[in-house]
Amino acid sequence: MGAKENILRDIHTLITKQFETPEEAFQNFDEDKDGALNKSEIKDLLKAAGVGGLIRGIVANEMLKGYDKSGDKTINYEEFKVAIAELNRDY
């Protein structure tokens, strides 16, 4: 399993084991309660999932590139649900 797959598995484990629902996880990491995860909040999620500090910024950028369909440099809840659906499908 490659690094990307390990990170995705770790995120999936965090969300399914520590939270009742994906919405609860989203709300927990949406620190400013603006309805979207900015890069800093995504990095906090990655830290909680055990992603090492050296690559957190890179992974956060990749997640924004992959899931930020609105182009606002954040992941809103609808975009987050797409990511979670992919994780649930793959893990």
**pLDDT tens, residue by residue, 1-23:** 578 889 989 999 999 999 999 99
Q: Which CATH class is domain 3-90?
A: mainly alpha
Q: What is the pLDDT of residues 50-75, one digit of tens each?
A: 999 989 999 999 999 999 999 999 99
DSSP code per residue over 43-69? HHHHHHTT--HHHHHHHHHHHHHHH-T
CB 67 within 8 A of CB 80: yes
SS3 73: coil
Q: How large is the average pLDDT for residues 75-81?
A: 96
Task: Find, among 84, 89, 90, the residue nearest to 14 by Cα.
Answer: 84
